[in-house]
Amino acid sequence: MNTLWLPLLLSSVIWAEEQYFPQSRNATWDEGRLHCKSCFKELTTITSRNVHLIVQNLSSDYWVGLRKSYNDSIQRGEWPAWSNGDPVTYQNWYPGHPVPFPICSSTTQSPLSTPMTSTQASTVTSASVSSKNDTCPILSEMLLCLNMTCGDLESAMGMCKRTPTVTPKTTTYSTSFNAPTTGTTTESTSNCKPNPGQYIKDACVVLLSSGMWKEKDCNISLPFICYEERFFGQINISDVTTSAGNLSWAEGPGAENISHYREEVTGDKNQTFNQTKLFQYIENLTAGTLYKVQVFPVKCGRDLNPQNISFYTYPSDVQNLIVVSVTNVSANLKWSKPDGNHESYSVYVKYKSNKNVTERVQECQDEECTITALIPGTEYVFTVTAVVNKTIEGVPSNVSNYTIPSTVRNLRSADNDSTVIMAFWDPPTGNHSGYRYCLKEVNNSRECTYCNIASDSSITANNNITNSSDTTTVSIADCKTVDGTETFIKVTNKSDGSMFCLCVAALTKTNTLSGEMVTILAYTKPKTVTLFLNPSSQTIFANWTVEGKYEKFEVSITTDAYIYTDQFTTPNLNYSFKDLKAGVNYNVSVVTLNGKLRSNPANKSEFTRPAKPCGVKATTNKTTIQVSWEAPTESEGASIKYTVKCYTAFWEKSHEVQTPDRSISFTGLNPGTRYECNVSVVAGNLESFPETVHANTEPEKRTLVLTMLCSSQTALHCDKPETRNELFETVKKCSKTTSSLLQLYRNRIIMQ
Ligand SMILES: *[C@@H]1O[C@H](CO)[C@@H](O)[C@H](O)[C@H]1NC(C)=O
Ligand SMILES: *[C@@H]1O[C@H](CO)[C@@H](O)[C@H](O)[C@H]1NC(C)=O
Ligand SMILES: *[C@@H]1O[C@H](CO)[C@@H](O)[C@H](O)[C@H]1NC(C)=O
Ligand SMILES: *[C@@H]1O[C@H](CO)[C@@H](O)[C@H](O)[C@H]1NC(C)=O
Ligand SMILES: *[C@@H]1O[C@H](CO)[C@@H](O)[C@H](O)[C@H]1NC(C)=O
Ligand SMILES: *[C@@H]1O[C@H](CO)[C@@H](O)[C@H](O)[C@H]1NC(C)=O
Ligand SMILES: *[C@@H]1O[C@H](CO)[C@@H](O)[C@H](O)[C@H]1NC(C)=O
Ligand SMILES: *[C@@H]1O[C@H](CO)[C@@H](O)[C@H](O)[C@H]1NC(C)=O
Ligand SMILES: *[C@@H]1O[C@H](CO)[C@@H](O)[C@H](O)[C@H]1NC(C)=O
Ligand SMILES: *[C@@H]1O[C@H](CO)[C@@H](O)[C@H](O)[C@H]1NC(C)=O
Ligand SMILES: *[C@@H]1O[C@H](CO)[C@@H](O)[C@H](O)[C@H]1NC(C)=O
Ligand SMILES: *[C@@H]1O[C@H](CO)[C@@H](O)[C@H](O)[C@H]1NC(C)=O
């Protein structure tokens, strides 16, 4: 299948369209053929496919490209091929043509042949006489073909007499075969009449206006029909500029007879050239314009089928390209129309990021275009080209500019020092080369909303300056530029307790183009006072000094000893706290206020002077003293601490306890001993005067026999009660005063 299909397909593809050119001048067949070969391709061939095209509007007889025999080729029978070499696949002879070489010899054999001889003799004189075959030549050919003799035919004819009439066909065989059947011998005489043709030895085919063929002597002069295949050639345009182009094309067929090529350039201006070469430089064209070019090969004064091409000249460059305005994400471009024509514009948006060049394109219809979705603070190169036919771009024009940096983010200041301003921010989106900050001291009641830099020619600022009272105007002297890697500033030696407007903007274009300022309020704290406290029992006198600006002070006092806090403001540098409780620790705090600004607090704590407790009592048994007391009235309600000391001089022992309670027991004491107990209030490292109580532990009783020698002269004097009492008193006195006795007594106890 495949091998069968392929040749069929190929032949249909390469089939060329033929065009037919009837030539009205008279010429012999050879002359006609020569002319056709030089100005066309050949004398025409006739096939079933083209016959209807050729016979339209034929007005006379024409030579066509078929000859009985060619001088220049080996004769292989009659009508062997068309003059261009094609096989003869189609014939349409006029009835009785071509006149064959006479073949039927016996005139007496057939009644059919006799009248034919007579008719032939009437038109052609010498030819029929010389020829012994006087049979109708077609009949003889047919007889030969049918392998019949004239006699066979005759007998066959008798049988066929009753067969119905068959309509004449265009083929010569049926016509001549049919003719005798229609009539008698006299009618068959008239059958040979329309073919009075004489046999022609050098015969060429003539196309009749009816479309049928006859042969004629090749040397007679007749019009003729040439044909040529329609010419399709390559054409190319190269090196197109805004005003010119190089046109080149393929050679036409039969190039030696092509006198020249005519080029017709049509567009806004028409140009025509005659050119013998195969190329042409076309100039003086208008930019951005569609031109149609036709190149006609001219052959024998005749235009062959033209080769066509259309092309656009490149649009020329746009004029006066400028960046009208930029924001941080867009740029507005403007330009004027290019010379010549254009349909639209393309804008190429190019920027460098991390050494990589990124590019995108935007289409614009007018001479003004806003490019969006740009990155803030970035240098862009905008290239504008005029465009025709959607894709053909002209000469580019460039302009470059920076987008404005976006604002810094999250600007905040520390506000935690009295002489230093410290601020932080996050970098802006997009790119930046540095930052500029301005710091201006402002009135305490001021809001910082907008910053307006008075005049700075070195940096192009992009401030939205409104003339509202919120606008803070700063001078260049207040501003500084910092590196793009920094995101904080620290400015020292600022005055304390002051408010500042801090404005920060990102810069780009090597710090010459500023973004919009972000403004916040920053401040230094007022200085902290140096605080002195001077406490007494129920008052504290506080005074302080401060070396900075202040408006007033916020003073507060608190204590943990009981529920008590107080707070107030004063413009003075001292304050006396009254109605306090004795022996209590008080915290005093002073904050310097300047407008809304507060200093760090100065804190100090101090005990009021303690008062002594009252109502101290002691109860005892042998080894224990329980001391109890009441809080001093000056300290009533506050939790304070007491210290209790019990001392025995006899044993030289002392016991000491600190307690927040109001009673205490000392255990493990010596029985029968006198203790002196002191209770006092403790406040920090101060102690109140003590309140004293004496307590005796119960004695462990021992019997001491005291024998005395009464040496009175008076009898029974010693026995008198008065005398005894006197003695006891004396002993008592002694025991108190006479240490030796006591020492003795003590030593005995210890020895025990
Ligand atoms: C060609 O010849 C015919 C007859 O001889 C004549 O009528 C005709 O005008 C001629 N045509 C031309 C173009 O000479
Ligand atoms: C006459 O016809 C016969 C056959 O029919 C042929 O053999 C012969 O050559 C012919 N003569 C001439 C002069 O053509
Ligand atoms: C012609 O016919 C004869 C007899 O009728 C026969 O012998 C001969 O072979 C035939 N020739 C051809 C070519 O058919
Ligand atoms: C150019 O030629 C075309 C067709 O031949 C015509 O329609 C057009 O008007 C011409 N233009 C000029 C400017 O002559
Ligand atoms: C081109 O040649 C033709 C005839 O050969 C002539 O009529 C025409 O004026 C020529 N045109 C140019 C542009 O030379
Ligand atoms: C093109 O224009 C130039 C100057 O206007 C002129 O000299 C030249 O002849 C023109 N060329 C053509 C092909 O018209
Ligand atoms: C114009 O553009 C169309 C579509 O891209 C293309 O087919 C056509 O060849 C172009 N015309 C010219 C003259 O370049
Ligand atoms: C960038 O645009 C501004 C106007 O927005 C203009 O003043 C400046 O000259 C332009 N710079 C360049 C390099 O074109
Ligand atoms: C540049 O672009 C290429 C491909 O787009 C990418 O692989 C490379 O990481 C880029 N380089 C930088 C520095 O961004
Ligand atoms: C300027 O700021 C005002 C108030 O924030 C705003 O309404 C206005 O649109 C801004 N103008 C420009 C050009 O940014
Ligand atoms: C604070 O008061 C005390 C007396 O109460 C006085 O000695 C001292 O100088 C005062 N200090 C200041 C700074 O006023
Ligand atoms: C002494 O008194 C304390 C408390 O009052 C008591 O605990 C202790 O038992 C008493 N001692 C004697 C010996 O009574």
Report the distance separating Cα 74 and Cα 707, nearest Å.
201
Among all ligands shown, which has an atom nearest to the Cα of 292?
7
Shortest CA distance to 373 belongs to which of 333, 405, 409, 327? 327
Span of 117-126, 268-277, 679-688 with lowest mean pLDDT: 117-126
Tokens of 229: 């295949």
Residue type present at position 310: S
**Structure confidence at residue 607 (pLDDT):** 94
Span of 166-175, 500-509, 664-673, 677-686 with lowest mean pLDDT: 166-175
Full-model pTM: 0.64
The predicted-structure confidence for 701-713, as pLDDT tens digits, reads as follows: 777 666 667 677 7
Tell the CATH superfamily of the 614-696 domain. Answer: Immunoglobulins (2.60.40.10)
Distance set, CA 736 to CA 155, 253, 677, 728, 732 (Å):
208, 168, 21, 12, 6
Q: Pick one of 3.40.50.2300, 2.60.40.10, 1.10.287.3510, 1.10.3720.10 as the CATH number of 530-607.
A: 2.60.40.10
User: What residue's CA is closest to ligand 11, atom 14?
Assistant: 543
Confidence of residue 469 (pLDDT cuts 50, 70, 90): low
Q: Which residue has the tokens 């910082």?
A: 448
Residues 6+ apart with CB under 8 A from 16: 229, 230
Confidence of residue 129 (pLDDT cuts 50, 70, 90): very low
Q: Looking at per-residue confidence, does 736 or 328 come out higher?
A: 328
Asked if 681 and 604 touch (Cβ cutoff 8 Å), the reply is no
In 621-727, DSSP assigns E strands to 625-630, 641-648, 653-659, 663-666, 674-683, 686-687, 691-696
| DSSP character string of 514-553 | E---EEEEEEPPPPPPEEEEEE-SS-EEEEEE-SS--SEE
Report the distance separating Cα 116 and Cα 98, nearest Å.
16
Name all residues whose Cβ lies below 6 A of ligand 7.
310-312, 389-391
CATH of domain 409-523: 2.60.40.10
SS (H, E, C) 442-466: ECCCCCCCEEEECCCCCCECCCCCC
Span of 134-138, 164-168, 348-352, 720-724 with lowest mean pLDDT: 164-168
Residues 6+ apart with CB under 8 A from 24: 223
Among all ligands shown, which has an atom nearest to the Cα of 321?
8
Tell the CATH superfamily of the 235-312 domain. Answer: Immunoglobulins (2.60.40.10)
Q: Is the CB of 294 under 6 A from ligand 4?
A: no
Report the distance separating Cα 346 and Cα 396, nearest Å.
9
The predicted-structure confidence for 430-468, as pLDDT tens digits, reads as follows: 999 999 999 988 887 767 887 877 766 677 776 655 555
Asked if 94 and 228 touch (Cβ cutoff 8 Å), the reply is no
Q: Where in the chain is CATH 2.60.40.10?
A: 235-312, 319-402, 409-523, 530-607, 614-696
Shortest CA distance to 681 belongs to which of 587, 620, 624, 616? 616
**Structure confidence at residue 121 (pLDDT):** 32
Q: Is the CB of 654 under 6 A from ligand 8?
A: no
Which of 274, 277, 299 to probe ligand 5 with, by most ligand atoms within 8 A of CB?
Answer: 274
Three-state DSSP class for residue 359: strand
- Compute the mean pLDDT over every residue in the chain, rounded to the nearest whole number: 82
Maximum pairwise Cα distance, the chain: 245
Distance set, CA 370 to CA 321, 363, 367, 407 (Å):
13, 10, 10, 22
Question: What is the layout of strands, in order, in the sheet containing 421-426?
Answer: 409-413, 421-426, 488-491
Shortest CA distance to 224 belongs to which of 358, 66, 383? 66
Confidence of residue 123 (pLDDT cuts 50, 70, 90): very low
**Structure confidence at residue 148 (pLDDT):** 74
Q: Is the CB of 11 under 6 A from ligand 4?
A: no
- Residue 501 pLDDT more than 50? yes
- Residue 252 pLDDT more than 70? yes
Instruction: Report domain 319-402's class.
Output: mainly beta
Name all residues whose Cβ lies below 6 A of ligand 11.
532, 534, 541, 543, 545
Given the DSSP bridges, would you call strands 597-598 and 585-594 parallel, antiparallel or unpaired?
A: antiparallel
Q: Which fold has domain 4-96+203-229?
A: Mannose-Binding Protein A; Chain A (3.10.100)
Report the distance separating Cα 700 and Cα 3, nearest Å.
150
**Structure confidence at residue 76 (pLDDT):** 56
H or E element that contains 383: strand 379-388
Q: What percent of the chain has pLDDT over 90?
A: 51
Question: Phi and psi (nearest 5°) for 333?
Answer: -105, 150
Given the DSSP bridges, would you call strands 540-545 and 530-535 parallel, antiparallel or unpaired?
A: antiparallel
Q: What percent of the chain has pLDDT over 70?
A: 80
User: What residue's CA is closest to ligand 4, atom 3?
Assistant: 266
Asked if 422 and 475 touch (Cβ cutoff 8 Å), the reply is no
Three-state DSSP class for residue 84: coil
- Residue 374 pLDDT more than 50? yes
Q: What is the mean pLDDT of residues 408-423?
A: 92
The predicted-structure confidence for 552-575, as pLDDT tens digits, reads as follows: 999 999 999 999 999 999 999 999
- With vertex at residue 75, the alpha carbon angle to CA 70 and CA 76, rounded to the nearest 5 degrees, is 130
Please tell me the distance between residue 365's alpha carbon and the centre of ligand 4 in angstroms.
29
Three-state DSSP class for residue 130: helix
Q: Where in the chain is CATH 3.10.100.10?
A: 4-96+203-229
Q: What is the mean pLDDT of residues 682-692?
A: 91
Please tell me the distance between residue 103's alpha carbon and the centre of ligand 3 in angstroms.
18
Report the distance separating Cα 601 and Cα 557, nearest Å.
12
**Structure confidence at residue 134 (pLDDT):** 54
> 104 burial class (0-12, 13-18, 19+ CB within 10 angstroms)?
buried
Please tell me the distance between residue 352's alpha carbon and the centre of ligand 9 in angstroms.
11
- With vertex at residue 39, the alpha carbon angle to CA 37 and CA 45, rounded to the nearest 5 degrees, is 50
Given the DSSP bridges, would you call strands 499-508 and 434-442 parallel, antiparallel or unpaired?
A: antiparallel
Shortest CA distance to 352 belongs to which of 332, 377, 373? 377
- Residue 297 pLDDT more than 70? yes
Tokens of 305: 């089928």
Three-state DSSP class for residue 321: strand
Q: What is the mean pLDDT of residues 326-351?
A: 93
Name all residues whose Cβ lies below 6 A of ligand 1.
24-26
Q: What is the mean pLDDT of residues 410-423?
A: 92
Among all ligands shown, which has an atom nearest to the Cα of 140?
2
Name all residues whose Cβ lies below 6 A of ligand 6.
283-284
**Structure confidence at residue 77 (pLDDT):** 65
Crossing angle for the helix pair 137-146 and 172-182, nearest 10 degrees? Answer: 100
β-partners of residue 674 are 696
H or E element that contains 137: helix 137-146
Q: Which is the closest atom of ligand 4 to the Cα of 270? A: 1
User: What residue's CA is closest to ligand 12, atom 2?
Assistant: 621
